[in-house]
């Protein structure tokens, strides 16, 4: 132990010495117009702020981060020495899980990705401890929690929890981690619906607590006494006592609640509810919703600033970040994010907001003071990052450093002026970078006596145009001692090895100080795909699945012969498939796979073959003694049967009926086709055929077609068969009128429609007439129906009676039936009260045996059909009251509904 402690002490001593040596070794002396050497500060987990004692040398008075190379300035007759002092501060880091099973570590001062940490499958939730030493990540695909040491950015433990963990939160003292186990799918009651409690001292699950349905989010109160678990399916929050790890209450949260956050004072819990486009505000003292804040665009992620003054809500549907004043729960602004913003966290100083976007695969950085976007950081795929993903960091272990830059005056008046290089050089190994993936800088000169030569460093080329003309050097002609501002373009060369490349472009002219412009870039390695073995299969056989391996992120493949049963192209592995060869000889298909990385670099394609051999020809046959069939429209005919056979079958035999017929393989289930499944030989299989009930009137015949893969189709003749019209009865309804009055409109009733058809099938409707006229004497006259035409029906007509009463009977006697049968057969379906049409002010009321009014009408324009408010009344006895008005007596009695 003593030796280990001594080693640690010595390492700390030599580290502090190396920082001091770093400061001294960075003293520089540069001539006026010269390019300084870039200064890159070291020290793990540190950000640097620096001051410059003399900005006249061309460097600002202060800044943050590394100091890039710049053009030194001295317009005096003596050297100028500036002292630069850099002070390190602790760095904060954002830990962003993404679907490729990694966590991206982003320095919030530089917005650079400093590490990629492999974790479990489908990481989703993240929680940083308050001391900045640990980050916990829930892996929904591998049912585990990864424990990350922020000092080394490595996974130090993996804890198995419940099914599909999502929400996660660590207590303020760092002793416990609470993990929500959602289950195999959202909005499902079949999941574990539990919270796992992890003891961080030994990384073991010490308790499992049942909660609501589909727990998705977890937060811990600032004092560590309560855990709030958001249950998305049951729209509730489960409150857990951390001292006993028991449920103490359940709170209604809001419609389809999703994201959850807690105010730093612990007084309020906030819930994002995409189902209602609101944010629920819950008072933790009363456990009641005290406010509902309208937002828009499906809110999901939510966080609170460390001072408790602001709420930040991501809106996935509207691609916005909503900003809410927590003092009065009002929306005070919004900022455009990327396409589908999700997780959101705020830096400890409340100055920057980080938003993870699971669709654009970017991290959006927003200035919390000005509410504007300041950076977009590319990240891995599907970055959900739900929870507190910004860590304080493990702490800076460096001391302040100081160094000098001395700028000497020019030895002559000649000077070359340059700017810093801008742009980013990226290329694939074996090719030069191309616009826009290049860098550029500007150069000019004064008091020159010679042209300016621009020499590219090793591994780079320069040009005066962005798209061509690159080489090891270019020459810039001065005119009258002046070189006008000129843009130099820089790209990486063809032969650069994979990795980071850098160097200085040298600019020189006789009599002028030589200048340097630092350039750098990244050359991405080409991915490879491992060789794939060729394979063979016979027609109808299943191929072997092909799983591509190598260093690529994506494998794209093409197939030159899709006839074998494989698509012409695809991406990713090739699953097993049924090989196809309908030819007499073998088919050789060449598949070519090209490896490709997410950087856009493609490697050398690899090819292999799949050979499919032909199978024996299938032969179909049939034995038939079919005769013609007959039926009436609306009814199926009696069925007949025949037999089919097949040899060397690679699939089933499809039997297709001719128009008007239907077939079956069991005599029960009929359709336009039927399939006899199986391979090999199938002998004497019985097939049934009949005329369909929906076949229109007419004569039908044709071929029953038998077909199968790799076989010649054959026909079975179906003899002439006939469908005759269905009988339809048209009944003229009885009518009455007073002598001298015009004839009333005549109506008819239909009986016999089939196939759920009705009067729409009539080509010509029937005509009802009578011999009576307005002057016909009182008595009864026949009403005759005729003339109906329909394609699939024949007609039978039943006449009605027109009753004419004498003109002295101004108020004809009512004829009130005491029963009717509303059963939909077209006969006596309504309660027809004869002569009531003459009493236009009459009232009709019908009551149940218990006195409930079930029908009421004035004038009785439409006969009652036995229903009450659209519901069919049961068969039974009802009581009626008919009042003709105009001083006529009231009719009462009992009415029977028969069904």
What b/e string do you get for 253-286 counting C-beta neighbours within 10 Å, with b at 16 or more?
A: bbebbbbbbbbeebebbbbbbbebbbbbbbebee
Mean pLDDT of 544-554: 93
What's residue 13's pLDDT? 29
Is residue 200 scored above 90 in pLDDT?
yes
312 beta partners: 303, 323
* 412 has a pLDDT exceeding 70: no
Q: What is the pLDDT of residue 787?
A: 95
120 alpha carbon, distance to own chain's centre: 22
Q: Are residues 115 and 254 in the same domain?
A: yes
Please report the pLDDT score of residue 339 as a whole number. 86
Domain count, the chain: 6
For the cut 50, the answer to whether the pLDDT of residue 791 exceeds it is yes
Assigned domain for 334 exists: yes
Co-location of 671 and 713 in the same domain: yes
Candidate from 333-337, 408-412, 852-856 with smallest mean pLDDT: 408-412
Give the mean pLDDT of 526-534. 93
Q: What are phi and psi of 93, to 5 degrees?
A: -135, 140
CB burial of residue 353 (10 Å; 0-12, 13-18, 19+): buried
Would you state the pLDDT for residue 186? 52
Residue 11 has pLDDT above 50, yes or no: no
Confidence at residue 584, expressed as pLDDT on a 0 to 100 scale: 65
- Tell me the pLDDT tens digit for each residue of 154-195: 999 999 999 999 999 999 999 999 999 987 655 455 678 999
Residue 420 covered by a domain: no
**Residue 465, in any domain of the structure:** no
Domain co-membership, 623 together with 596? no
Query: Looking at residue 192, what is its pLDDT?
Result: 85
Pair (79, 4) in one structural domain: yes
Residue where a domain stops, chosen among 724, 748, 777: 724
- Mark whether 802 and 773 lie in a shared domain: yes
pLDDT confidence of 89, banded at 50, 70, 90? Answer: confident
Domain boundary among 613, 645, 662: 613
Q: Has residue 21 got a pLDDT over 70?
A: no
Asked if 389 and 95 count as a contact pair (C-beta separation under 8 A), the reply is yes
Domain holding 671, by residue range, is: 619-724
**81 within some domain:** yes
C-alpha span between 855 and 539 (Å, rounded): 73
pLDDT tens across 731-749, in order?
Answer: 999 999 888 788 999 999 9
Helix (H) or strand (E) holding 839: none
Distant-in-sequence contacts of 667-671, Cβ < 8 A, 24+ apart: 667/639, 667/641, 670/636
Structural domain includes residue 892: yes
Give 478's pLDDT tier (boundaries 50, 70, 90). Answer: very high
pLDDT of residue 326: 93
What is the residue whose two structure tokens read 């009605």? 800
Residue reference for tokens 């004692």? 53
* Per-residue confidence (pLDDT) for residue 20, from 0 to 100: 34
Q: What percent of the chain has pLDDT over 70?
A: 94
- Within a domain: residue 425? no
Tokens 């004498």 -> residue: 806
Query: Does residue 515 form part of some domain?
Result: no
d(CA 341, CA 361): 10
Residue 774: pLDDT band with limits 50, 70, 90: confident
Q: Using CB atoms within 10 Å of the CB of residue 203, give its burial: 0 to 12 exposed, 13 to 18 middle, 19+ buried.
A: middle
pLDDT at 32 (0 to 100): 85
Q: Is the Cβ–Cβ distance between 610 and 544 less than 8 Å?
A: no
Tell me: do 692 and 735 sit in the same domain: no
Q: For the chain, what's the residue count?
A: 899
Say what the pLDDT of residue 358 is. Answer: 86
Q: What is the pLDDT of residue 369?
A: 92
pLDDT digits (tens, 9 = 90+) for 285-319: 999 999 999 998 889 999 999 999 999 999 988 89
CA dist., res. 601 & res. 498, Å (int): 12
Task: Clarify whether residues 600 and 563 are in a common domain.
Answer: yes
* pLDDT for 809: 45
Q: Look up the pTM and report it.
A: 0.45
Burial class of residue 599 in the structure, from the number of CB atoms within 10 Å of its CB (0-12 exposed, 13-18 middle, 19+ buried): middle
Do 247 and 149 share a domain, yes or no?
Answer: yes
Band of residue 599 on the pLDDT scale cut at 50, 70, 90: confident
Count of other CB atoms within 10 angstroms of residue 352: 22
When pLDDT is cut at 50, 70 and 90, the band that residue 265 belongs to is: very high
Closest CA to 674 of 682, 686, 683, 684: 686
Q: Which residue has the higher pLDDT, 795 or 77?
A: 795
Instruction: Give the residue among 620, 601, 607, 503 at the shortest CA–CA distance from 561.
Output: 607
The pair phi, psi for residue 554, each rounded to 5°, is: -135, 140
Q: State residue 12's pLDDT score.
A: 33
Tokens of 98: 């993404």
pLDDT at 65: 80
Q: Which one is predicted more confidently, 769 or 109?
A: 769
**Tell me, what's the pLDDT at 486?**
96
Taking residue 785's Cβ as centre, other Cβ atoms within 10 Å add up to 25
Chain-wide mean pLDDT for the chain?
89
For residue 185, what is the domain's CATH number? 2.130.10.10
**pLDDT for 215-247, tens place per residue?**
999 999 999 999 999 998 889 999 999 999 999
pLDDT winner (highest mean) among 244-258, 403-417, 427-441, 578-592: 427-441
- How many Å apart are CA 105 and CA 17, to the nearest integer? 28
Q: Are residues 677 and 711 in the same domain?
A: yes
The DSSP secondary structure of 315-367, one letter per residue, reads ETTTTEEEEEETTTTEEEEEEE--SSEEEEEE-TTS-EEEEEETTT-EEEEEE
Q: Do residues 709 and 794 both lie within one domain?
A: no
Domain boundary pick from 613, 641, 660: 613
Query: What is the CB-side half-sphere exposure of residue 893 using CA atoms within 13 A?
Result: 11
Within-domain flag for 276: yes
Strands 246-252 and 236-241: antiparallel
**Per-residue pLDDT for 588 more than 90?**
yes
Calpha distance 80→74 (Å, rounded)? 7
Q: Do 375 and 300 share a domain, yes or no?
A: yes
Cα–Cα distance measured from residue 293 to residue 692, given in angstroms and rounded to the nearest whole number: 62
Which whole number is the average pLDDT over 671-675? 96
Q: What is the CATH number of the domain that holds 576?
A: 2.60.40
Q: Do 565 and 551 fall within a single domain?
A: yes
Would you state the pLDDT for residue 47?
A: 78
**Antiparallel, parallel or unpaired: β 422-423 and 452-455:** unpaired
Give the pLDDT of residue 807.
Answer: 54
Q: What is the mean pLDDT of residues 862-881?
A: 92
pLDDT for res 679: 82
Question: Dihedral through CA 54, CA 60, CA 64, CA 65, nearest 10?
Answer: -90
Average of pLDDT values for 676-701? 93
CA distance linking residue 545 with residue 529, whole number of Å: 16
């Amino acid at each position: 132990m003593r030796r280990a402690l001594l080693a640690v002490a010595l390492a700390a001593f030599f580290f502090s010495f190396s920082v001091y040596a770093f400061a001294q070794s960075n003293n520089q002396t540069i001539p006026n117009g010269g390019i300084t050497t870039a200064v890159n500060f070291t020290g793990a987990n540190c950000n640097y702020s620096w001051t410059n004692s003399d900005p006249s040398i061309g460097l600002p008075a202060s800044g943050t981060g590394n100091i890039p190379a710049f053009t030194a300035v001295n317009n005096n007759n003596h050297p100028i020495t500036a002292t630069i002092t850099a002070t390190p501060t602790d760095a904060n880091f954002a830990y962003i899980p993404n679907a490729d099973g990694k966590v991206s570590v982003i320095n919030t001062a530089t917005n650079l990705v400093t590490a990629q940490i492999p974790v479990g499958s489908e990481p989703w939730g993240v929680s940083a401890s308050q001391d900045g030493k640990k980050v916990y990540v829930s892996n929904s695909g591998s049912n585990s929690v990864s424990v990350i040491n922020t000092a080394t950015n490595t996974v130090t433990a993996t804890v198995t929890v419940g099914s599909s963990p999502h929400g996660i939160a660590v207590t303020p003292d760092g002793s416990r981690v609470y993990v929500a186990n959602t289950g195999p799918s959202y909005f499902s009651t079949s999941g574990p619906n539990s919270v796992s409690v992890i003891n961080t001292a030994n990384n073991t699950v010490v308790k499992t607590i049942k909660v609501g349905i589909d727990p998705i989010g977890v937060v811990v109160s600032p004092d560590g006494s309560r855990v709030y678990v958001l249950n998305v399916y049951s729209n509730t929050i489960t409150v857990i006592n951390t001292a006993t790890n028991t449920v103490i209450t359940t709170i209604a949260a809001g419609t389809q609640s999703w994201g959850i956050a807690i105010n730093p004072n612990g007084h309020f819990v906030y819930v994002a509810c995409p189902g209602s486009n609101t944010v629920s505000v819950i008072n933790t003292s009363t456990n009641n919703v005290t406010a509902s804040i309208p937002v828009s665009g499906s809110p999901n992620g939510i966080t609170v600033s460390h001072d408790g003054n602001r709420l930040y809500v991501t809106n996935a549907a509207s691609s916005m970040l909503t900003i809410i004043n927590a003092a009065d729960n009002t929306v005070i602004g919004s900022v455009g994010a990327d396409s589908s913003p999700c997780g959101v966290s705020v830096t400890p100083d409340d100055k920057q907001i980080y938003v993870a976007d699971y669709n654009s695969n970017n991290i959006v950085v927003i200035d919390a003071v000005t509410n504007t976007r300041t950076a977009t950081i590319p990240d891995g795929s599907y970055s959900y990052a739900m929870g507190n993903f910004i860590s304080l960091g493990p702490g800076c272990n460096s001391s302040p450093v100081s160094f000098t830059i001395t700028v000497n005056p020019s030895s002559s008046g000649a000077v070359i002026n340059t700017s810093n290089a801008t742009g980013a050089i990226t290329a694939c190994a074996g090719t030069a970078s191309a616009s826009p993936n290049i860098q550029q800088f500007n150069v000019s000169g004064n008091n020159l006596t010679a042209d300016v030569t621009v020499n590219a460093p090793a591994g780079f080329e320069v040009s005066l145009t962005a798209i061509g003309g690159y080489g090891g050097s270019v020459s810039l002609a001065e005119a009258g001692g002046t070189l006008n501002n000129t843009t130099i373009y820089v790209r990486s060369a063809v032969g650069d090895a994979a990795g980071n490349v850098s160097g200085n472009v040298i600019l020189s002219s006789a009599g002028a100080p030589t200048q340097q412009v630092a350039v750098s870039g990244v050359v991405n390695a080409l991915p490879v795909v491992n060789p794939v073995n060729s394979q063979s299969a016979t027609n109808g056989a299943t191929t072997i699945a092909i799983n591509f391996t190598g260093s690529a992120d994506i494998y794209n493949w093409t197939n030159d012969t899709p006839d074998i049963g494989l698509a012409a192209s695809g991406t990713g592995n090739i699953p097993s498939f049924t090989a196809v060869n309908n030819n007499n000889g073998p088919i050789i298909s060449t598949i070519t796979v090209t490896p490709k990385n997410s950087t856009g670099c493609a490697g050398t394609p690899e090819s292999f073959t799949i050979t499919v051999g032909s199978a024996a020809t299938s032969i179909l046959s049939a034995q038939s003694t079919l005769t013609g069939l007959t039926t009436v429209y609306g009814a199926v005919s009696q069925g007949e049967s025949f037999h089919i056979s097949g040899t060397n079958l690679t699939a089933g035999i499809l039997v297709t009926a001719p128009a008007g017929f239907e077939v079956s393989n069991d005599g029960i289930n009929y359709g336009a086709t039927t399939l006899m499944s199986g391979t090999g030989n199938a002998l004497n299989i019985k097939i049934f055929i009949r005329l369909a009930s929906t076949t229109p009137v007419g004569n039908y015949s044709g071929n029953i077609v038998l077909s199968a893969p790799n076989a010649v189709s054959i026909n079975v003749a179906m003899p002439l068969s006939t469908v005759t019209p269905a009988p339809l009865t048209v009944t003229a309804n009885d009518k009455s009128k007073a002598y001298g009055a015009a004839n009333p409109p005549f109506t008819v009733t239909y009986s016999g429609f089939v196939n759920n058809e009705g009067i729409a099938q009539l080509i010509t409707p029937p005509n009802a007439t009578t011999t009576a006229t307005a002057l016909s004497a009182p008595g009864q006259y026949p009403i005759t129906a005729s003339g109906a035409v329909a394609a699939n029906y024949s007609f039978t007509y039943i006449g009605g009676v027109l009753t004419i009463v004498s003109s002295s009977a101004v108020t004809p006697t009512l004829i009130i039936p005491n029963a009717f049968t509303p059963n939909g057969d077209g006969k006596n379906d309504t309660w027809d009260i004869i002569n009531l049409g003459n009493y236009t002010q009459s009232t009709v009321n019908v009551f149940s045996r218990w006195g409930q009014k079930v029908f009421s009408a004035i004038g009785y324009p439409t006969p009652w059909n036995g229903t009450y408010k659209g519901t069919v009344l049961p068969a039974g006895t009802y009581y009626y009251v008919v009042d003709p008005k105009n001083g006529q007596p009231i009719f009462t009695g009992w009415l029977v509904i028969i069904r």
